[in-house]
Structure 1
């Protein structure tokens, strides 16, 4: 896939997720086949006020390039100041604008998916960044109830200079419930000339292939299904390349992955930035006795006890 002049080695992308897509997690997803990874979303206002914790969400390394950094805000002036600062510090390959997050922490301030009700402001933000950055600008949106209104926003984003658009097939009101409507994504792909990336309900090999085939999009973006499961990228990439399901031992793979994840957190001195127990619990989703193990993790006193609970989970699964 190609975005502006950037050639991406594949078309399976990791979605930006708050408190999830830190550097160690992104490195693991890249290792397993993610073609492009995105940072946690970064507040434009926080960058302007030099909030170190927020700015550090863009920390990267050469092993994960290319990197996309996603920002959010509601003012073209603030957004361009923040984007120029991020461009200067991290030199990402892509700067993405969040017009899709439905979380109240964003929408109450008129950011994220709240901007979908202000098409002209979306156009102004994209245009300001596209014209003033040397980095390609992309955007991520959700759909609206009405197809025509959704198409209008997609066209405005393209005309403002965006190099690609990602479409999550749910409305702001749906949050993460119900099914993603890929009819909208398919229609946007048919009408736009820039790359279109499909997002929503891509959870395994079959849904990845079906989404690509139905929407005819340039790529797919995986979000929540990858939480605690970076190996999903390996499974999907293998299936898309060979048409065959990859054989693996789910439990031992999950435990090996969380051990590597913890090791990378230590290596990059980021262990203090995460909620260790919560992230360990993600790695148990869908596993036999997972609920019981999550309870054990919740009362664990240290990482060794967490890993012991996970090891026992695998032993019971065999």
Structure 2
């Protein structure tokens, strides 16, 4: 897949997720086959006001290329100035603008999915940003109940100069409830000439293939289903290439992945910036005895106890999965 001048090794992307897509997790997803991973979303206002914590979310490394950074805000001028600073510091391959987050903190400030009520402002944000930075600009949106208005917004984003658009098939009001409607991405793909990426309810091999086939989109983006489950990208990539379901031991895989993730957090000195217990518990979802494991993780005193809890409950020795 190609977005403007950026070539990707495939068409399965990791979505930007607050408090999730730090560099250790992104690197694991990339190693398992994600075509590109996005940073946690960065506040344009925080960048302008020199918030080192927010700005540091753009930290990357050469092994992660190509790499995307997502930014949010509600001012064309501030977003553009912040993006220019991000571009100069981190040299991302893609700068993505968030027009989809339904979180109250963003919506009440007129950012994220709240901007879908202001198509002209969306156009101004994307246009000024494209004129300011040399990095390709993309956008991620949610949908409105009115499909025609949603398609019109996608058209404005293309007209403003964006080189790709990701469509999450839920409304702001849905948050993450109900089913994502991929009819929107399908319609938008028919109406615009830039690449379209479908997002929402892509949780396994079958839903990935079905979404690509139904929408005709250029790619798919995976969000919450990847939390604690970076190996999902290996499974989906394998299935899309071969049509075969990959055989593996899920408990062993999750245990090994958790150990690797915790090790990478230490390597990048991020153990104090995340909720270790919460992140570790993500890796136990879907495996037998997961609830008991999560209870033990909650009582763990340090990383070693977290790992031991998972190994003991899964009956896994200290070894990589086959």
Which category of TM-score, normalised to the shorter sequence, fits these structures?
Answer: over 0.9
- Per-residue displacement from partner, 1:33-83 (whole Å, max 9, x unpaired)? 000110000000000001000000000000011000000000001001100
- Counterpart contact for 1:36–1:68, Cα < 8 Å: yes
Describe the SS at the equivalent of 1:273.
Answer: coil
Q: Which residue of 2 aligns with 1:173?
A: 173
- Per-residue displacement from partner, 1:181-221 (whole Å, max 9, x unpaired)? 00111000011100000000000000000000000000000
- Per-residue displacement from partner, 1:245-290 (whole Å, max 9, x unpaired)? 0000000000000100111111111111111000000001111111
Runs of 4+ in 1 over 4 A off after TM superposition: none
Q: Which residue of 2 aligns with 1:312?
A: 312
Q: Distance in 2 between matches of 1:134 and 1:78?
A: 17
- Per-residue displacement from partner, 1:279-302 (whole Å, max 9, x unpaired)? 000001111111111111111111
Q: Which residue of 2 aligns with 1:301?
A: 301
Q: TM-score, length-normalised on structure 1?
A: 0.98
- Counterpart contact for 1:24–1:261, Cα < 8 Å: yes
Describe the SS at the equivalent of 1:96.
Answer: strand
Q: Distance in 2 between matches of 1:152 and 1:124?
A: 15
Q: Which residue of 1 aligns with 2:247?
A: 247
Q: Distance in 2 between matches of 1:130 and 1:313?
A: 51
Q: Do residues 230 (structure 1) and 244 (structure 2) align?
A: no
Q: TM-score, length-normalised on structure 2?
A: 0.97
Listed as ranges, the gaps of 5+ residues in structure 2 are 317-322
Describe the SS at the equivalent of 2:28.
Answer: helix
- Counterpart contact for 1:288–1:313, Cα < 8 Å: no
1:165-314 matched pairs, under 5 angstroms: 165-314=165-314
Question: How many residues matched?
Answer: 316
Q: Which residue of 2 aligns with 1:96?
A: 96
Q: Distance in 1 between matches of 2:49 and 2:226?
A: 32
Q: Do residues 124 (structure 1) and 124 (structure 2) align?
A: yes
- Per-residue displacement from partner, 1:150-187 (whole Å, max 9, x unpaired)? 01100000000000000000000000000000011100
Q: Distance in 2 between matches of 1:218 and 1:68?
A: 17
Q: Which residue of 2 aligns with 1:35?
A: 35
Q: Distance in 1 between matches of 2:168 and 2:194?
A: 16
Q: CA deviation at 1:313?
A: 2.3
Q: Which residue of 2 aligns with 1:153?
A: 153
1:18-29 matched pairs, under 5 angstroms: 18-29=18-29
- Counterpart contact for 1:169–1:200, Cα < 8 Å: yes
Q: Do residues 63 (structure 1) and 63 (structure 2) align?
A: yes
Q: Distance in 2 between matches of 1:192 and 1:140?
A: 15
Q: Distance in 1 between matches of 2:260 and 2:302?
A: 16
Describe the SS at the equivalent of 1:221.
Answer: strand
Q: Distance in 2 between matches of 1:303 and 1:164?
A: 40
